[in-house]
Amino acid sequence: MSLRSRFRKDADELVKQYTASIPFDQRLYKQDIAGSIAHAKMLARQGIIPEKEAELIVMGLVSLREEIEQGTFSFDPELEDIHMNIEARLTEKIGDTAGKLHTARSRNDQVTLDLRLFTKEAITETIRRLKELQRAIMDVAEGNKSVVMPGYTHLQRAQPVLLAHHFLAYFEMLQRDISRFRDCLRRTDVLPLGSGALAGVPYPVDRHFLARELGFSRTSRNSIDAVSDRDFVIEYEAAASITMMHLSRLAEELTLWSSAEFGFIDVDEAYATSSSIMPQKKNPDVAELARGKTGRVYGHLLGMLAVMKALPLSYNRDLQEDKEGLFDTVDTLLSTLQVLAGMVKTLRVNSARTQQAAEEGYILATDVADYLVKKGLPFRQAHTVVAKLVSYAIDQGKSLHQIDLSQYKSYSPLFEEDVYSITLDSSIKARNIPGGTAPQQVEAQLAAARRIVEDTEED
């Protein structure tokens, strides 16, 4: 089968290799066959081809799908892409009737149909794996509800928080990611088939039937836009990039926390590697690779934006570049979500070390300032008093609890014996507002998280 009837010369061998997409678009075989089966049924239903011919085509396509899945199908690079490979093999199996399948259809609307079907499936699986990671995070939070750790700003110890509160911050990030993918799904869920090459088709096709058969909620409104639109690819890659950014932040903290300098967690041996030269090493390679793979996902997004930035309407061969980046983005994101879920689920928290880290330094300084505010001192003045007090404590090598009351009073007469009642526990309990780190609020966050992971529709 050849599409070069118009030409007197064969394509140069280098051109054949350069333009062939079958090495990667063969991955779309399921979507291509599903689209072709629906199209054949519609052609018969509309009286465009005889019913018996449609049945023969469908039987041939089902047989073809089995060949591919059993590994007996031979893909031919000479036939350029998945569409022509399937059509050529269908012709071998059922004869010239196969040629009727392409009635009222172009490769332009065929390929975007395949890609939309693929992306819809990818979004569904992405959301499922996001929820798996959310469950792993929620389990760690549930199992460590009373564990105290330092909260950080600028990677400096700032205020005490519950470790569960810290982990649930990632739960919230992932929930926003789920919302973005669901939003992307709404715009991906548009049937382009029936748009033809660009202008529509001169046959009485039933696009609504096709939409129902293929699980689309609506049909495209403009045929030119339908064949040239790749916004849904860009949106998936953009949502994936944001998700990978969140995963990279989590991976960074898991890497830091598993180091001897932090010692907050112990990574399960199944999710670590050793060194080729240093036998004592236990490296958090899974987390490090998650950080590294984030860059490749960003690259695919930027690459696709660059492809689209100056394309005139409607279809251009540049759009062949939409697939490899999307496929790799999907594979990278799904595998990263899966492996991080396993890593989080199996990590062990060193609560003694997180408590010790929270007790070190001057993490309660803000609470001391708030103490003065409650005694009537304006916050800015209270901030200055405590800043000087901390400087004194550092110079003396003392903690705030080791400073004499008389010394406290030298900085402000508002200090009384009850200043020593400021503790990690009192600091955490004081943040008892919605979204805060107080145990009551963290319990409410956990309850909300449980409802969310059980509700497949909630954003």
Strand stretches in 195-324, DSSP E = 218-219, 265-266
- Residue 264, SS3? coil
Q: Catalytic: which of 275, 391, 399, 426?
A: 275
The DSSP code for 151 is: E
The DSSP code for 404 is: -
Alpha carbon 302 to chain centroid distance?
16
Alpha carbon 453 to chain centroid distance?
16
Q: Quick one: three-class SS letters along 157-190?
A: EEEEEEHHHHHHHHHHHHHHHHHHHHHHHHHHCE
Question: Using CA atoms, how far apart are residues 438 and 161, in angstroms rounded to an integer?
Answer: 8
Q: Point out which residues pair with 159 in neighbouring strands.
A: 151
* Amino acid identity at 230: R
* Amino acid identity at 278: M
What the block records as the tokens of 249 is: 């932040």
Peptide bond into 427 cis (omega under 30): no
What the block records as the tokens of 344 is: 């989080």
Q: Catalytic: which of 5, 74, 154, 421?
A: 154
Q: Among 256, 264, 425, 428, which Cα is nearest to 353's?
A: 264
* Active-site residue flag, 275: yes
- Residue 12, SS3? coil
Question: Using CA atoms, how far apart are residues 299 and 119, in angstroms rounded to an integer?
Answer: 18
**CA atoms in the 13 A half-sphere facing the CB of 193:** 36
* Active-site residue flag, 102: no
Give CA torsion, residues 165, 168, 173, 174, to 10 deg: 170
Query: Which helix (H) or strand (E) covers residue 232, if one does?
Result: helix 231-257
Residue matched to tokens 């499922």? 128
Cβ-based burial of 200 (10 A; exposed 0-12, middle 13-18, buried ≥19): middle
Q: Which residues are catalytic?
A: 154, 275
